[in-house]
């Protein structure tokens, strides 16, 4: 089993301290509420060679030696919150982590790319500072079949900065998609924008945690997601938004599809602090359940302590509409094709929201391929 495999894998990686933690520590189990539907023992690791990098679109690859106008690379110490053993792995892996500071001088339209290519188990940690008034697109790509990528990011979006953060969890390289545990800790200052978009339709065991905290007022947080659990895939998205200051605005839009024997989890927590008056928080989670053996666990979790706020939320789990299928059939499309077309359309709504044209087309093409449309 995965847990027993780990110490040896860490030894081999030259991280005896991690091997020690793996040996002595305990892993999250189903008794822990937030891990209830996400069994850790389903992770499977086999070692592989690193495949060659092949960028699906032009971008600036983030590495220790990246050079670009307005980008400063360094190494800094970071403490990620410790809630489970994976956090210990992340914190103990490196003394300092790759730190990217983006200044207002950064004017490139090209996205910054952070690529995850685990050869067995790897911890990828990054710290990003988006300075006052700066704007950047940041894309995480995943590659490496059957391996486990633990990816941790610490993001600070300063005043009036705009940061678009994308995670594309599908096989854009045709080289396989790793198993992923991703944790993002983003903090935002006044009048900033943090827009997160995650698209998952590949891999076998995926868990994403997104934490956003407001440090200032009049800012916007956007969280969009598409998660597709087909085959035997497990996809778990846990989002947590801390509306800690007044006058904050947020919009969360997650769509999920489960078919075959897929398992999907969505947990969207929005916490509005008592003095976070005039908060405007919107959450919508729609799910399509396309097979009897598939499972969706959707849970909005609104904790609102301020009284003068506008918060709306909705969560649905449903099937495709019969009248839509019939309409398409009445024009000569088979039930299967109609189902594919409608499922594709359901998911495409999230992808259509991607503002950057290159990234939107990249995702749409992959999604259409996936759905045979």
Partner 1 sequence: MLQIKNLHAQIEGKPILKGINLEINAGTVHAIMGPNGSGKSTLSSVIAGREEYEVTEGEIWFNGVNILELEPEERAREGLFLAFQYPIEIPGVSNANFIKMAVNEVRKHKGLESLSATDFLKLMREKAALVGLKDDFLKRSVNAGFSGGEKKRNEIFQLAMLDPKLSILDETDSGLDIDALRTVAEGVNALKNSENAFLVITHYQRLLDYIVPDVVHVLYDGRIVETGDKDLALKLEDQGYDWVIEKHKQEA
By CB under 8 A, the count of residues binding partner 1 is 22
Distance CA 103, CA 135 (A): 8
Spell out, one character per residue from 304 to 343, where the chain touches partner 1: x when CB under 8 A holds, - when not.
------------------xxx-xxxxxxxxxx-x---xx-
Backbone Cα Rg of the chain:
20
Nearer to partner 1, 49 or 323 (CB): 323
| 357 touching partner 1, by CB under 8 A | no
Whose CA is closest to 298, among 254, 342, 259? 254
| 190 touching partner 1, by CB under 8 A | no
- β-bridge partners, 251: 222, 282
Q: How far is the CB of 330 from partner 1 (least distance, A)?
A: 5
Angle at Cα 343 formed by Cα 227 and Cα 352, nearest 5°? Answer: 65
Q: How far is the CB of 347 from partner 1 (least distance, A)?
A: 9
Nearer to partner 1, 63 or 352 (CB): 352
Q: How far is the CB of 74 from partner 1 (least distance, A)?
A: 44
Sequence-distant (≥ 6) Cβ neighbours of residue 41 within 8 angstroms: 1, 2, 3
Distance CA 8, CA 20 (A): 10
Whose CA is closest to 85, among 196, 167, 10? 10
Helix 322-329, helix 335-351: angle, nearest 10: 120
Sequence-distant (≥ 6) Cβ neighbours of residue 83 within 8 angstroms: none
Residue 6 in contact with residue 22, Cβ under 8 Å?
A: yes
Among 45, 175, 317, 345, binds partner 1 (CB under 8 A): 345
Residue list 111-170, contact with partner 1 (CB under 8 A):
none
Q: How far is the CB of 243 from partner 1 (least distance, A)?
A: 30
Q: Which two tokens stand for residue 176?
A: 């396989």
Residue 189 in contact with residue 216, Cβ under 8 Å?
A: yes
Among 86, 266, 346, 362, binds partner 1 (CB under 8 A): 346
Nearer to partner 1, 134 or 348 (CB): 348
Among 348, 354, 359, 366, binds partner 1 (CB under 8 A): 348
Residue list 71-110, contact with partner 1 (CB under 8 A):
none
Nearer to partner 1, 308 or 323 (CB): 323
Residue 276 in contact with residue 308, Cβ under 8 Å?
A: no
Spell out, one character per residue from 266 to 305, where the chain touches partner 1: x when CB under 8 A holds, - when not.
----------------------------------------
Q: How far is CA 150 from the centre of its chain?
A: 12
| 372 touching partner 1, by CB under 8 A | no
Q: How far is the CB of 372 from partner 1 (least distance, A)?
A: 11
Q: How far is the CB of 284 from partner 1 (least distance, A)?
A: 15
Residue 12 to residues 16, 91, 119, 178, Cα–Cα distance (Å): 8, 19, 11, 19
Nearer to partner 1, 22 or 342 (CB): 342
| 364 touching partner 1, by CB under 8 A | no
Contact residues toward partner 1 (CB under 8 A) are 322-324, 326-335, 337, 341-342, 344-346, 348-349, 373
């Amino acid at each position: 089993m995965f847990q027993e495999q780990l110490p040896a894998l860490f030894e081999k990686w030259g991280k005896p301290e991690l091997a020690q933690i793996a040996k002595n520590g305990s892993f999250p189990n189903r008794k822990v509420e937030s891990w209830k539907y996400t069994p850790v023992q389903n992770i499977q690791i086999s070692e592989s060679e690193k495949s060659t990098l092949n960028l699906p679109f032009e971008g600036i690859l983030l590495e220790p030696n990246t050079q670009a106008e307005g980008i400063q690379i360094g190494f800094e110490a970071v403490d990620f919150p410790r809630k489970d053993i994976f956090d210990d792995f992340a914190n103990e892996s490196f003394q300092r982590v790759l730190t990217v500071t983006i200044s207002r001088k950064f004017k490139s339209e090209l996205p910054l790319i952070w690529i995850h290519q685990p050869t067995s188990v790897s911890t990828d940690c990054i710290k990003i500072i988006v300075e006052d008034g700066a704007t950047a697109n940041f894309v995480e790509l995943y590659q490496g079949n059957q391996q486990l990528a633990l990816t941790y990011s610490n993001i600070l979006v300063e005043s009036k900065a705009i940061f678009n953060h994308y995670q594309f969890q599908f096989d854009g390289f045709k080289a396989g998609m790793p198993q992923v545990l991703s944790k993002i800790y983003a903090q935002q200052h006044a009048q900033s924008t943090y827009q997160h978009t995650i698209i998952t339709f590949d891999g076998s065991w995926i868990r994403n945690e997104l934490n956003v905290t407001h440090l200032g007022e009049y800012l916007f947080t956007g969280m969009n997601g598409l998660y597709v659990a087909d085959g035997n895939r497990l996809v778990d998205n846990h989002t947590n938004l801390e509306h800690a200051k007044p006058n904050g605005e947020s919009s969360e839009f997650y769509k999920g599809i489960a078919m075959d024997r897929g398992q999907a989890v969505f947990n969207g927590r929005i916490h509005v602090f008592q003095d976070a008056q005039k908060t405007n928080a919107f959450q919508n989670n729609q799910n399509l359940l396309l097979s009897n053996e598939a499972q969706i666990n959707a849970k909005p979790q609104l904790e609102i302590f301020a009284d003068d706020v506008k918060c709306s939320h909705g969560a649905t789990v449903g099937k495709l509409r019969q009248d839509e299928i019939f309409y398409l059939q009445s024009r000569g499309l088979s039930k299967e094709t109609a189902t594919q077309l409608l499922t594709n359309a359901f998911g495409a709504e999230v992808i259509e929201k991607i503002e950057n044209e290159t990234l939107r087309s990249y995702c749409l093409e992959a999604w259409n391929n996936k759905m045979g449309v």
